[in-house]
Amino acid sequence: MDAFCSDCKRQTEVVFDHSAGDTVCSECGLVLESHSIDETSEWRTFANESGDNDPVRVGGPTNPLLADGGLSTVIAKPNGTSGEFLSSSLGRWQNRGSNPDRGLILAFKTIATMSDRLGLVATIKDRANEIYKRVEDQKSSRGRNQDALLAACLYIACRQEDKPRTVKEICSVANGATKKEIGRAKEYIVKQLGLENGQSVEMGTIHAGDFMRRFCSNLGMNNQAVKAAQEAVQKSEEFDIRRSPISIAAAVIYIITQLSDDKKPLKDISVATGVAEGTIRNSYKDLYPHVSKIIPSWYAKEEDLKNLCSP
C-alpha cells in the first residue's frame, strides 16, 4: 500500500505493524500513523466449522425496534467438562423462557433474506422492519399469512423509498405467498397504519422510468438503447396513456428494441419485465400513435419509425 510521506515529500510504500498498530514509511522509517484501530473481523468462520465452537466475543449491532435493543445475553453451550452442568442448565432455562422479541427477530431475518435476494439497500430493509413493527404492535395481525405480510411490508418500503419493485418481483422471494395474498396484505397494512396515524399512508408515486434501467439490464441492452428507452418513457408521461407504469415500460422497451439491430422477441421482454405478452401488445397499440413524439430523434429517423409494425 502507498501513502504520502511528509519526510520523503512523495508517495512511498508503507508497512503496517499489526502488533503496534503503526503505519511506517518503508524508505525513511517515519511513523505516519500510530495506534490504528483494526476494524476487520476478529475471527474468520468457515462453512464446515462446528457451530458449537463460535469464537466471536461480541454480538450484533443494536436494534431500536427490539425491547432490549438487541443486546440480550445468550448463554453459550459448554465446551469442556468444567461447569458443564451449570451452564447447560442455565442455557436450557433461558431457552424455555419467553422472549417477547422472538417473533420480531424471526420476521426481521426473513425481511433481510428477501432484501438480499432482491439486492435492496439497507434503508429499504430498515423501513420494512419499522412498518412490520408498527403493524405487530397493534396486535391485530394474528391468523394472517405471515409470509404475505412480510412481503407486503417490503413492497410498501420500496415504494416509500422511491425504489419500487413490482409485486411479481416481491412474490418471487416471498416464500410461497401469491400475488393476491401479498395484495391483500398490503391493503390490510395500509388500512392499519392509516388507523394508527388518523390519515392515509403516503406510498409514493410509481413512474415507468423507475423500472426501466433494471428491465433493460435484465435484457442485456446496450447503453445507447437504455438511454433512448429512458428518454422515451419520460416523454410518454406527457400523453394520456391509461396503462400501468410497468406495462408502459415494457411497451417502450419493445419499441426501442424493434428499432435497433438487436431485436428482442416479445417473449423475452415479457419474462424480463413480468408483463404478459398480450398486455405488452395492448400497451404498444396505445403508444403507437405517439411514437414520433416519444422516440428520441437521435435514436431513430422518421423512416425508421414508419417501418415499425402497425398494431
CB 16 within 8 A of CB 1: yes
Taking residues 131-138, report their average pLDDT: 87
Instruction: Quickly list H helices, the chain.
Output: 84-96, 102-118, 122-137, 146-160, 167-171, 179-197, 209-219, 223-236, 245-258, 266-273, 277-287, 291-294, 302-306
Distance of CA 55 to the CA centre of its chain: 31
| pLDDT tops 60 at residue 93 | yes
Give the pLDDT of residue 242. 85
**Contact residues for 90 (Cβ-Cβ < 8 A; gap 6+):** 75
Give the pLDDT of residue 87. 56
Please name which of 261, 257, 179, 244 lies closest in space to residue 218, comparing C-alpha atoms.
257
Give the pLDDT of residue 308. 78
Taking residues 264-287, report their average pLDDT: 91
| CATH numeric code, 101-197 | 1.10.472.10
Give the pLDDT of residue 142. 75
Q: Report which of residues 162 and 87 the model is more confident about.
A: 162
Distance set, CA 160 to CA 60, 78, 146, 214, 250 (Å): 27, 46, 21, 18, 23
Architecture of domain 208-307: Orthogonal Bundle (1.10)
Percent of residues, the chain, with pLDDT higher than 70: 77
Helix (H, G, I), strand (E, B) or coil at 114: helix
Taking residues 216-220, report their average pLDDT: 90
The grid coordinates listed for 182 are 401479498
226-249 per-position pLDDT tens digit:
999 999 999 998 888 889 999 999
| pLDDT tops 70 at residue 47 | no
Q: Report which of residues 142 and 133 the model is more confident about.
A: 133
Which of the given ranges, 67-71, 143-147, 149-153, has the highest pLDDT on average?
Answer: 149-153
Residue 11 has phi, psi (to 5 degrees) of -70, 125
Q: For the residues of 24-87, what is the DSSP string, one character each?
A: EETTT--EEE-S----S-S----TTS-GGG----S-----TTSTTTT----PPPP-SSTTHHHH
Which of the given ranges, 6-15, 31-40, 169-178, has the highest pLDDT on average?
Answer: 169-178
| pLDDT tops 60 at residue 50 | no
101-197 matches 208-307 in fold? yes
Taking residues 54-58, report their average pLDDT: 60
CB hemisphere CA count around 263 (13 angstroms): 6
CB 224 within 8 A of CB 269: no
Look over the chain and give the mean of its residue pLDDT values, rounded to a whole number: 81
Taking residues 213-234, report their average pLDDT: 91
Give the pLDDT of residue 82. 47
CB 12 within 8 A of CB 25: yes
- CA–CA separation, 231 and 251 (whole Å): 14
Give the pLDDT of residue 193. 83
Q: Domain residue spans in the chain? A: 2-33, 101-197, 208-307
